[in-house]
Structure 1
Amino acid sequence: MDARDDIETQLIEHGSESDVDDELTEAKRYPSFGQRMRMERQLFGRQFCPLFLSLVMLVYGALIVFRNLAFYRYRVGPRLRDVGFEVFHEFSKENMKYSDIPIKVMYIVDGFVLLGTFLGEGGAKRIKDAITCLCGKENEQDLRAYKPFTRPPRPHFVNVVRRMLCVYAIGHFLRACTYLATTLPGSSDHCIHSTGLHPPKTLLECFYKTQSINGNCGDLIFSGHMLFMWLSTCCVLKYGARAWGLKQLGPVHSGLLALCMILIAVQIAFILKSRHHYTVDIVVATYTVPLLWNFYNNTIQPEDLKVDYQALEDHESVPRSRRRVLIENCIVAFALFILVLLVLIVVHGNFNFLHPKPHTAPIN
C-alpha cells in the first residue's frame, strides 16, 4: 500500500488524476521481479502436495521401484524382429554417445519456455524496450509480438512445472503398468547377454537399489525418452507463446514447434539406431502422451491456479525488513532450483552420482 501512496503522491503533484490510474495500471500489469517471486512463492505453497507427490512418484517410484521390478523379472533372450532395426543401422560404440543429443536440446527449449514464465510481463516488456532501443524506432513495428497488452497473461513458473510434473508422473505410472505386465526380450546389446548384468537379487532389494538407466533391462513399453519429448512439445504448444508474449502459432511460436518436431524425429532415429527401444515402444508413446496431456488438461486440471491477490496484499501489509524479504526470495529460488534439478535427474534417469567410480592408479 505504501508504494501505491507514493505513486499517487508523486503523480498528483506533477500530473492529473488519470495519470495516477495509468501508472497504477502499468505497475500492476508489469510486476517487479520481487513481486513475481512472491506470486510464485504463494502458488508453490498452495500446490506443494501435487508437486511433492509427483516428485516422490518419479524419483522413488519410476527411477527405483518400478525399474528394479522390471529388471528383477527380466530374463535374457534373443532380440525381437523389429522394422525400425531393419531400417536404421545400429550405432557404433563410438557414436553411441550421440544418442541423447535431441533430448538434451529439448532441455534448452523447455528452459526457454520456463524462463519466459519466470520473467513475467515486466521482463518481456524490458526485453522488448531493449530490442526497440537497439533496432531504432522505425523497426518497432517488427516487434509487435513482444507487446504484452494484446496477449493473454503470462503463465506462472510453478503452474507450468506442476502441470508437466503431474502428467510426467502419470505417464511413468502407465509405463510401469505396461512393462511390468509383459516382459519383452531386451533390445540393447547389454540386455541380450547374461554377462555384465546386475539385477536386484531379491524382491526387497527392488525397493532401495539405485542404478543408472543405462544398465537396466526390461523397462521397454513405452519409451521414457519419447514420453518426455512429446510432453515437452505439448508444453511448448500450450505455454510457449504466452510465456514470452508471442502470438499463438505465430512465426516464432510455429518455428519453436517445428524445432520440437524435428528433435522428435531425430530422437526416434537415434533411439532405434542405439537399440534402446523397439519401434512399438515409440509408437505407443506417440499416441499415448498427447492423449494423456489432452485428458489431463480437459478433465483433471482444466485451468491453472490463479494468484490470490488479496492474500498477497495482506501478506505485503505486514512490515518486514529488506533482509527478510531477500532471504524469503532466495529460499523460493533455491526450492525451485532443487525442483528443476530433481526433474532433470528423473529425465536423465541416472543415480551414478551415488556410486562414484573407484580411483585407479595410472599404468606406467
Structure 2
Amino acid sequence: MEKQKVAILGPGSWGTALAQALNDNGHEVRIWGNIPEQINEINEQHTNKHYLPELVLDENIRAFHDLSEAVEGVDAVLFVVPTKVMRIVAKQYAEIAKGVPMIIHASKGLEQGTHERISTILSEEIPQQVRKDIVVLSGPSHAEEVAVRDITTISAACENEQSARYVQHLFTNEYFRIYTNQDVVGVETAGALKNIIAVGAGALHGLGYGDNAKAAIITRGLAEITRLGVAMGANPLTYMGLSGVGDLIVTGTSIHSRNWRAGDALGRGEKLEDIERNMGMVIEGVSTTKAAYELSRDLNVEMPITETIYDVIYNGKEIRNAICQLMLREAKPENEFED
C-alpha cells in the first residue's frame, strides 16, 4: 500500500499503540487530543508516559491541539476515544470535516441511554458526503503488547468488503495481522460486551476462586453475549472468532485489562468510586454493563451474568450472595438454541 495520511483522534494507550503500528508501515501519522500537556509531551519528548510509560515514539509521529489541522488532507480518520465522548468528538469532527476520508473506529462500548453501537453513532453524526465507509477495528489486543510489537491478530469489519480490505492493508505487518469481516453488528457487540464478562472474571479472581470459575464465566459469558448479539442481528459464528472468543480470552484473563483489574478490586472489597479514581483511565465495562442490562430487557434476552454484575455495581448487592444466587438458578440445557 502506498503511503497514507492518518489522523488518530484519542491519544490514549490504544490510540498511541496504533499510531506506532501505522508509522512502522510507513504512513504519516497525526494524533489529536485535548490535553495540551499530553500533546506537548508527544511532540517534545516522544513519549506518552501516563498510558504507555516504557514506549518511545518515532519522531515522525506528530500530535496536534487543533482538530482542523490534524485532519487536514488525511486519507483516514481513526476514532479511539471512550464511548461516552464518541458522539461529542464525532460532532466536533463533522463541523470541520473536509475531503472524504475513510472513517475507522477502534473503541469498544455501547452508548448510555440510546444503547447504540459506535458505528451507528458515527454514521448519525458524520454526514455521508464527508466520509467513505465506517470500518470497525476490534479484537484481542492489549495496547501494552502491541506497543512492544508482540504478535497480535484482530478484525476489520465493514459491510463493504473493499473498505475492510483497505484497513487490513493499512495496518497489517509482521507483528500486527488484520482479518476482514462483514458482520459489523457481531464484531461491535462482541467487543463491547466482553468488557462486562471481564469485570466478572476479575471479581472471581479477587474473591479467590480458581481456574474452574474462570472457565465457567468465560464460556457462559460468551453464550449470553451471543444471545444478545444474535437478537440484534449478528451472525453467531462471529462470536467464535477473533472479536468474540479471542477478545474475551484476552480481556477476561489478563492483568493488562482495565476491566479485569476493576473486577479484581471489586472482588477484594474495594469501592467502585475508588477503583475508577485510582485507575485514571476509563473502565468501559462499568458503563457497558448498564447499557447491556437495559438492552437485554428491551429485547427480552436472558443475560444472568450481566444482570448479576449490574446488581453488584449499580444496586450494591453483596458479591458472594450474588454469585451464590447465580449458581442456584433453575437448571437448564447448555445449548442456547435448543428448547
- Shorter-chain TM range is under 0.3
TM-score by length of 2: 0.27
**Could you say which structure has the larger radius of gyration?**
1
Structure number having the greater helix percentage: 1
Higher relative contact order, structure no. (Cα contacts within 8 Å, ≥ 6 residues apart): 1
Q: What TM-score do you get using the length of structure 1 for normalisation?
A: 0.26
Looking at secondary structure, tell me which structure has more strand per residue.
2
